[in-house]
Amino acid sequence: MANKINILVASMYPGIFGGIDRCIMNYVINMNPDKFQFDFICYSYHNEQPGCRKEIIDNGGRIFIVPGRKKNISNYKMLNKICKNNYYDIVWVNLGDLFNIRLLKIARKHNIRKRIVHGHSIGSEAGIISRLVHQINKILLPKYATDFWACSKIAGEYFFTKKIRCSSSFKIIHNAIDAKKFNFKNDIRNMKRKELNVDGNFVIGHVGRFSPVKNHQFLVKIFYEIYKKCPDSILLLIGEGELRTDIERLVKSLALEKNIYFLGHRMDMPELFHAMDVFVFPSYFEGLGLAVVEAQAASLQCFVSKTVPTEVKIVRDSVSFIDINETAEKWADEILQKKYYQRISTLEEMKNQEYDIKTESKKMELYLS
C-alpha cells in the first residue's frame, strides 16, 4: 500500500446496505485499485458488520468496527488508535448531520492532510440539542476539515456556511450510478416479473430503509388508495430497518399481505427496477435520493415528495413532485394517471447530466489525488 493513496472512509451503516453506503461504494469500486486503498469505519454497538461488507472485502478494504458515539470513551480511543497506528493520506467522513465531527478532530490531531466532510442530508430527525450542536459545528467546521462536499446544493446549504460554499474547497458530488446496469430492457423486465409472480399486475416500487424519514406508513396508505381503485396492484418494499415490524403490522391490519411484498435487502436492484411500473418516494427529507436516480435510469415514472431536492430530476418528464401534506388519495390519483406510458432508454440523458459513475469516478480520482 506504500505507493497508494490511503483513504479512511466513515461511516458505513451496520447490517444494512443503505443509500449513502451505495453511493460511497459506487465510487470506490469504480476507482483505480492500483492508486487508491480504501479502509472503512462502521459504528456499531454489537460488533455488527456493515451491509456492504462483501463489496469492501472484494475491493481489498479493511473494516474497523467502532463502538457508537454513546460509548464515548471507547469510541474516542478506537478512533484515535485507528488514526495513530495506520498511515492515512485522507479521511472521507460521510454524515447526515454535524452533531458528531469527532473523527475530523482526531484526524487533524494526527496531521492527516486532507479531511473531507461529505453531507448527505438536508435535515435531521434529532432533537433540539442535536440541531443546536449541528449549527455550532457548521461554524467550527473549517477548523477541522479541509474539503467540503455535498450531494446537492440544498444539502450544501444545510451543512456549510455561505463562505465555504463560495470557496474552491466546496464541491457537489453527484450520487452517480452505473447507468448502463439500470438501462431499460424489456426482456429483463419480463423475466423478473415472472420470477416475482407479478406478470399482469400494476407494480409500484419503493426502495428505502424502514425509518421515520422514509415515511413508509404514508406510503402504505397511498398504496391502499391505489388498491381500492386497481385491485391487481402490487407494492414492492425493498430495504430493512427498525420500523419494518411496525409496517408489517399496518399491512396486516389493512388486509394487504397478498399485495405488499417485503423483499428485504437485495443485490438485484437493476432487475427489480425493471419489474416496476412506477416508483414512489414520499420521504420527509432527503439529501438527494439515490433510489430516485436509479429509478430514472431504469426509465420509470417517479412520484416524489416536494421535500426532496429538485436536482433529483435528471431525466425530462420523469419525476412528479407532490406535496407531502396532500392526502393519500391525491397521491394515488396522480400515480394512476400515469399508469400507462412508454419506457425508453434514458442512458444518454444520465450521462449528459453527470450521473454516470464511469465518468464521475474519474473526477473523484482527481479530487482525491
What pLDDT sits at residue 44?
Answer: 87
Question: Are the CB atoms for 39 and 86 separated by under 8 Å?
Answer: yes
What pLDDT sits at residue 14?
Answer: 82
Report pLDDT digits (tens) over 258-284. Answer: 999 999 989 899 999 999 999 999 999
Sign of the torsion formed by the C-alpha atoms of 27, 33, 34 and 35: positive
Q: Distance (Å, rounded) from C-alpha 149 to C-alpha 223?
A: 36
Report pLDDT digits (tens) over 197-252. Answer: 999 999 999 999 999 999 999 999 999 999 999 999 999 999 998 999 999 999 99
- Say how many residues make up the chain: 369
- Provide the residue ranges of all domains of the chain, joining segments of one domain with +: 5-176+357-368, 179-352
pTM for the whole thing? 0.90
Report pLDDT digits (tens) over 129-149. Answer: 989 999 999 999 999 999 999
List the grid coordinates of 104.
475530523
Q: What are phi and psi of 110, to 5 degrees?
A: -95, 15
* Fold agreement (5-176+357-368, 179-352): yes
CATH class of the region 179-352: alpha beta
CATH of domain 5-176+357-368: 3.40.50.2000
What pLDDT sits at residue 2?
Answer: 56
